[in-house]
């Protein structure tokens, strides 16, 4: 088993993150966030800020350089006087030091024409509309059969509404950028999940050719989707560097991350299930209500997983969204599947109770033979194997389904189960592999390791494909100057990158073999591009297959009978996610996902303050994320599986399947323990509190 190759650098502090890159003559930029949620900027008075010694520039809508590319309004920094949400960057100060920039930013006086804001999502909001598609390009609504008729006729019905709060990604490393202009070219050291994507988007904003922007992201301290696309910090650093003629460093603060680096929007989800007395679904409907900002439409695809999870002849899924005066939502930790499966899997648990059928058995009974909406065969689908394996390992058999019936001292105890799923996909990437006459190999690809162990996994697959020890290979990633690659996102990193890397490695090995192993003095090189291979996935016969990873999550909880405090003594996840390339890293990543699921279940909530239109709990003391004491016995295992279509690694991706379903398993376990069904996350103690004595 390969240990993490960058582990020693990280634990000794040698690993360098974006903001730490030393540049000569660095200046610092600090953003001024809007303190209104909607309105326009009448005027900006920079005089008091400019008077602070060490200030180099105050950038405002009045004097900001005009940006040629404004397709993404979140990146069109200071190009408009309109304020779309509280916390939006509306001006900035560049200075000799971070401290001066920050102090002067507080002295920029902005006169706003404030307008009434609307920041509250409701199920009957008059502004709700049907978007053309949901993230990233899924159909907004789907339907088959006659849901209404079948639901009305069903022997057993569940009709429940679930709510998930706004949640923020919160990687440990806040977004940060160091920007350096040399002539017409821009180099940015950035905390990003995708150097190639960021380079392309930043080039577009500044009207540059793609080759004129280089993005370096050697080490990235987590992303969880928030770093999947460039955020305002990259543009701000580059703009300030251009204005000052100096290299500029920019770091987003934790409070600012609640506004400008993306988050998961709150959702209101109605799930209706109709079934026969045997628990077999006849009707299934999932209606999602979501919010986005006035700047950009982002509709989380929360009902999409419902389209392939369970068999039911009559079915419907819908998404509606409303534009509010709120920060722009974005990708966060399994967007769509994560909140959607909380609702669907909680509803399954309610159906199991209504039918008096074990919740594992209920899911087994509703296993579809093919994709229930498209009829496509699954490339592989091992949900039932995960459920059975998990039930055996967890000791599920013989579970008494009665809610609120078990007590251990002051603790009420219960168990719960939920399914997990995530699409298995890959995106085009390129890689180059070289070998020197002395037998050193270099593998080059603009992948990003955001703490997942991608470096290690790619080294493993490259060594295997080349048939050489890992020690003979230098792996270069995290730089847009390398062959372009998919972002570390959508659980597609390993599948996408390893496909290109293995293809290049095999090509190089063939070259070496053709020369009977003799490498010429200039070395040999092979380049691979998987664009055509992945294009083939869209044409027959491969286009006819549905590809997903699956999993089963089991949770045991204890709820303090007096206080409602919830503990999770045991979490077990069993996953079927194609070939597991690097077991040690995979287990960490799956457990990490499950921990985030626990965190979502019990803690995470960005609570909108309707008075101001912001999330007032905007730091890590106010926004709780699970800490070590919240995680006790947690384990992740997997079923042996090979994904035949997504490249030679046989992988499906494990970045997000670990988080999906965890919250439903825990909420169902809380119901089993207490008899209280919490349908609005997080499951906090006040929702479970009962007066005693």
Partner 1 sequence: MRPFGYLVPPDPAAAIAAVTGRPGAAFLAGGTNLVDLMKLGVAAPDLLVDVTGLLPVLIEPAAAGGLRIGAGVRNSDLAADPRVRAGFPVLARAVLAGASGQLRNMATVGGNLLQRTRCLYFQDVTKPCNKRVPGSGCPARAGDHRNLAILGGSPHCVATHPSDMAVALAALDAVVHVEGPAGPRAIPLGGLYRLPGDEPDRETTLERGDLITAVEIPPLAYAGNSAYRKVRDRTSYAFAVVSVAAALDVAGGVVRDARLALGAVAPVPWRARAAERVLAGRPATAEWFGRAADAELAAATPLPDNAFKVTLARNVIVRMLCELAGDGS
Which residues sit at the interface with partner 1, rule CB under 8 A? 35, 99, 102-103, 106, 409-410, 562-565, 567, 602-603, 607, 609-612, 616-618, 621-622, 624, 626-630, 684-686, 689-693
Provide the pairing of β-strand 109-114 with 566-576. Answer: unpaired
Shortest spacing between CB 30 and partner 1, in angstroms: 11
Nearest CB to partner 1, comparing residues 175 and 618: 618
What value, to the nearest 5°, has the Cα angle with vertex 81 and ends 75 and 83? 75
Nearest CB to partner 1, comparing residues 532 and 693: 693
Nearest CB to partner 1, comparing residues 104 and 475: 104
Shortest spacing between CB 154 and partner 1, in angstroms: 37
Shortest spacing between CB 278 and partner 1, in angstroms: 41
Please say whether the beta carbons of 303 and 269 come within 8 A.
Answer: yes
Helix (H, G, I), strand (E, B) or coil at 179: strand
Nearest CB to partner 1, comparing residues 564 and 661: 564
Residue with tokens 């940006």, as numbered in its chain: 67
Annotated active-site residue 20? The verdict is: no
Shortest spacing between CB 106 and partner 1, in angstroms: 7
Shortest spacing between CB 560 and partner 1, in angstroms: 8
Taking the CA of residue 505 as centre, how many other CA atoms within 13 Å lie in the half-sphere pointing to its CB? 28
Shortest spacing between CB 165 and partner 1, in angstroms: 13
* 541-568 exposure pattern, b = at least 16 Cβ within 10 A, e = fewer: ebeebbbbbbbbbbbbbbbbbeebbbbb
CA–CA gap between residue 127 and residue 125 (Å, rounded):
5
Name the catalytic one among 350, 373, 641, 656: 656
Residue with tokens 């372009």, as numbered in its chain: 484
Residue with tokens 């091992």, as numbered in its chain: 382
Shortest spacing between CB 33 and partner 1, in angstroms: 8
Nearest CB to partner 1, comparing residues 616 and 675: 616
Please say whether the beta carbons of 225 and 489 come within 8 A.
Answer: yes
The stretches of 29-176 forming alpha helices (DSSP H) are 47-50, 98-105, 147-153
Please say whether the beta carbons of 653 and 425 come within 8 A.
Answer: yes
Nearest CB to partner 1, comparing residues 32 and 158: 32
Nearest CB to partner 1, comparing residues 31 and 646: 31
Residue with tokens 């490339």, as numbered in its chain: 379
Q: At CB < 8 A and 24+ separation, what contacts does 685-691 make? A: 685/560, 685/563, 685/564, 685/565, 685/566, 686/564, 687/564, 688/559, 688/564, 688/566, 689/563, 689/564, 690/561, 690/564
Provide the pairing of β-strand 185-190 with 89-95. Answer: unpaired
Shortest spacing between CB 687 and partner 1, in angstroms: 9
| Among 575, 546, 548, 578, residue whose Cα is nearest residue 643 | 578
Rg of the chain in Å (alpha carbons): 26
Nearest CB to partner 1, comparing residues 367 and 619: 619
Q: How far is CA 240 from CA 20, 69, 96, in A?
A: 18, 17, 12
Provide the pairing of β-strand 248-251 with 27-33. Answer: parallel
| Among 314, 323, 286, residue whose Cα is nearest residue 301 | 286
Shortest spacing between CB 597 and partner 1, in angstroms: 15
Nearest CB to partner 1, comparing residues 542 and 689: 689
Catalytic sites, residue numbers: 656
């Amino acid at each position: 088993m390969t240990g993490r190759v960058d582990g020693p650098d990280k634990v000794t502090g040698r690993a360098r993150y974006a903001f730490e890159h030393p540049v000569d003559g660095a200046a610092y930029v600090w953003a001024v966030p809007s303190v209104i949620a909607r309105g326009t900027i009448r005027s900006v008075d920079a005089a008091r800020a400019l008077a602070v010694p060490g200030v180099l520039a105050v950038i405002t809508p009045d004097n900001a350089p005009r940006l040629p590319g404004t397709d993404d309004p979140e990146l069109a920094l200071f190009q408009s006087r309109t304020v779309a949400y509280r916390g939006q960057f509306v001006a900035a100060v560049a200075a000799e030091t971070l401290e001066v920039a920050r102090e002067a930013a507080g002295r920029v006086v902005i006169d706003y024409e404030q307008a009434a804001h609307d920041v509250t999502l409701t199920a009957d909001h008059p502004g709700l509309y049907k978007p053309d598609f949901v993230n990233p390009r899924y159909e907004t609504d789907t339907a088959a059969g006659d849901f209404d008729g079948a639901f009305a006729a069903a022997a057993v019905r569940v009709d429940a509404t679930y709510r998930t709060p706004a949640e923020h990604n919160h990687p440990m490393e806040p977004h940060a950028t160091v920007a350096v202009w040399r002539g017409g070219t821009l180099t940015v050291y950035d905390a990003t999940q995708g150097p190639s994507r960021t380079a392309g988007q930043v080039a577009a904003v500044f009207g540059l050719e793609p080759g004129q922007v280089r993005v370096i992201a050697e080490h990235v301290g987590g992303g969880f989707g928030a770093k999947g696309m460039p955020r305002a910090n990259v543009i701000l650093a580059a703009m300030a560097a251009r204005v000052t003629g100096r290299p500029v460093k920019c770091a987003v603060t934790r409070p600012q991350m609640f506004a400008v680096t993306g988050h998961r929007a709150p959702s209101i989800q109605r799930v209706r299930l109709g079934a026969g007395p045997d628990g077999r679904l006849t009707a299934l409907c999932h209606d999602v209500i979501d919010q986005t900002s006035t700047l950009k439409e982002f509709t989380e695809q929360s009902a999409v997983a419902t389209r392939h999870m369970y068999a039911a002849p009559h079915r419907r899924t819908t998404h509606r969204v409303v534009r509010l005066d709120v920060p722009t939502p974005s990708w966060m930790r399994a967007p769509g599947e994560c909140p959607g499966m909380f609702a669907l899997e909680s509803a399954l648990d309610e159906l199991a109770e209504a039918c008096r059928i074990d919740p594992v058995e209920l899911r087994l009974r509703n296993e579809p033979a093919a994709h229930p909406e498209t009829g496509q065969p699954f490339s592989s689908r091992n949900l039932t194997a995960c459920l059975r394996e998990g039930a055996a390992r967890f000791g599920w058999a013989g579970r008494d389904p009665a809610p609120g019936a078990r007590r251990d001292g002051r603790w009420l105890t219960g168990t719960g189960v939920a399914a997990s799923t995530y699409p298995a996909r890959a995106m085009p990437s390129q890689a180059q592999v070289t070998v020197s006459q002395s037998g050193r190999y270099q593998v080059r690809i603009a992948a990003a390791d955001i703490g997942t162990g991608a470096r290690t996994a790619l080294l493993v697959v490259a060594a295997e494909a080349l048939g050489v020890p890992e020690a003979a290979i230098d792996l270069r990633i995290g730089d847009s100057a390398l062959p372009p690659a998919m972002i570390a996102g959508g659980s597609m990193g390993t599948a996408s990158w390893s496909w290109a890397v293995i293809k290049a490695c095999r090509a190089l090995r063939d070259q070496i073999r053709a020369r009977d192993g003799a490498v010429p003095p200039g070395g040999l090189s092979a380049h691979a591009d998987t664009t055509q291979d992945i294009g083939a996935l869209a044409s027959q016969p491969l286009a006819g297959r549905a590809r997903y990873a699956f999993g089963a999550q089991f949770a045991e909880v204890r709820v303090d009978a007096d206080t409602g405090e919830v503990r999770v003594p045991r979490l077990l996840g069993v996953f079927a996610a194609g070939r597991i390339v690097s077991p040690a890293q995979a287990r960490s990543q799956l457990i990490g996902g499950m921990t985030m699921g626990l965190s979502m279940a019990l803690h995470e909530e960005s609570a909108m303050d309707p008075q101001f239109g912001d999330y007032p709990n905007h730091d890590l003391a106010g926004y709780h994320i699970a800490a070590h004491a919240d995680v006790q016995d947690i384990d992740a295992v997997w079923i042996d599986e090979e994904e035949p279509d997504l490249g030679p690694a046989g992988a499906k991706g494990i970045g997000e399947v670990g988080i999906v379903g965890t919250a439903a398993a825990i909420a169902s376990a809380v119901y089993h323990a207490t008899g209280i069904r919490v349908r609005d996350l997080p499951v906090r103690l006040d929702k479970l509190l009962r007066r005693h004595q």
